Amino acid sequence: MQVSTDFQDLIYTNPFYKAEKGDTFSSLKASHAIPADAPTYNWKPRTRREKIRDIAFNIFSLVALPCAVYNYARVAFPCALYRYAQIFAGCLIIPSVFFSRANMLSEMVAYDEDLDVMAKFHLKRGCVKVKDRPVDVLLLVNKACPESRRWVLYSGGNGQMMETFAGSHRHIFAELNSHIVLFNYPGTGASCGWATRESLTETYLAMMDFVEDPISGLGAKEAIYCGFSIGGVVQGEALKQFDFQKNPDVRRLFIKDRTLTDLHTVVSKLVCRPLAYLVSLLGWNMSSKESSEGLNGREILIDASKDTIIRKGARLGDYLDQKKAKNKIYIDWEGASHNDFLDFKIGKFLIDQCENSFKTD
C-alpha cells in the first residue's frame, strides 16, 4: 500500500482534532471536488506497465478502427451495448449518482444543528484511491476518545450520500466510543467512476483495508462494519473476497440493517419476476446470503416487520434464521418500516450487543 499522508499521524497528532471547532456537514457542500490536499490512501494502484498497456491499447484502437470498422463493429457493438446496459442498470440501482451536494444543503444544515451529537465529533475529508479511482471519504473522530482504535465503517442505502449520514446511526455510534468512516459509492458525490457490481465491491474492500491497515491506514483494533439496505449487500459481496487473515489481531463485528438476501429476490417481490431475471442477466444479482451464512464472526441482523421495500422472503435475517446460521444476533423490529430511524430501545440493545461482542472475543 502507498499513502501520501500518514492517517494515524493525521488523527492522533494533527492539531485539527484538538481544535475546538472543525468542519461541519454544511461547510463541506462548498467543496464539490475532493480537496487536492486531502490525505490519500492508495489501494492497489495501477502499475506503470498497466498504464502503458492501457494507453497503447487506446492508441491502437484509434488507428485500427478506421481500417476494420465493419468487422470491429460486429463484435464490439453487442459487447458495448451490454456494458452500457450494465451501467444504466447501476444508475437505477444506485440512484444517489444523480444527487448533487447542493441539493443536500438543507439536510446538511439540519444535521449541523443536531448539536448534542455533532459536537462530539471532529470532521475531516480524505480520499481512498481504488486502482487510481478517487473515492470521497469523511472521518468523524470522536472527541471523547481520540486515542480509541475502534472504528465503524458505514455503508448506506442506494439513496444516501455520506453528507446526509442517517441520524439514528450517528446517535448510536457516538455512544459506542468509536470513530466513524463514511464514504460515497462510485459516481456519487465527489467519488469518481461508474457504479457497477465490480466497482462497488472493490470500493468496499478498499475501505476495509483502509480501516484495518496498521501501517498506512487507520490501524483499527476493533472494526464494526455496518451496512444499511443495499449497503449490507455491498458488504456481503466484499466479504466473499476479503482476506480475514491479513490482519488477524483485528476484532470484527458485522451489522446488516434491513438488508436483502440478493437483488434478484427483492426485485421479483417488489416489482416483477421478468425484471428480476434482467437484473441477473446484466450481472447485477449482488448477494449477501452466501458470505453471511459462512461468516466466521459475529453478525447482528436487523429486520423491520413493516418493511415494504425488502419484503418477507427477501430479508436476510429471516433467511439466516431459517438456515440456523451460527454466531448471529437477530433483532426483529416490530412496527418499523424500511427507512425509519432506529428508536431508543433498538439503539440501546444494539449498543449493548456491540459492547458484549467485543468483551467476549
pLDDT, one tens digit per residue, over 148-181 is: 889 999 999 888 888 776 555 777 887 888 899 9
Residue 77's pLDDT is what? 53
- Position 146 scores a pLDDT of 79
All domains of the chain in start order, with CATH: 2-6+23-43+96-359 (3.40.50.1820)
Contacts of 206 (CB under 8 A, 6+ apart): 41, 43, 44, 128, 130, 135
Mean model confidence pLDDT for the chain: 81
Judge whether residue 112 has pLDDT over 60. Answer: no
pLDDT value for 343: 79
Cα–Cα dist 93/230, whole Å? 9
pLDDT of residue 19: 46
Higher pLDDT, 250 or 159: 250
What's the pTM value of the predicted model, to 2 decimals? 0.86
pLDDT the model gives residue 3: 47
Top mean pLDDT of 102-106, 216-220, 259-263 is at: 259-263
Could you tell me the three cell numbers for 347? 439503539
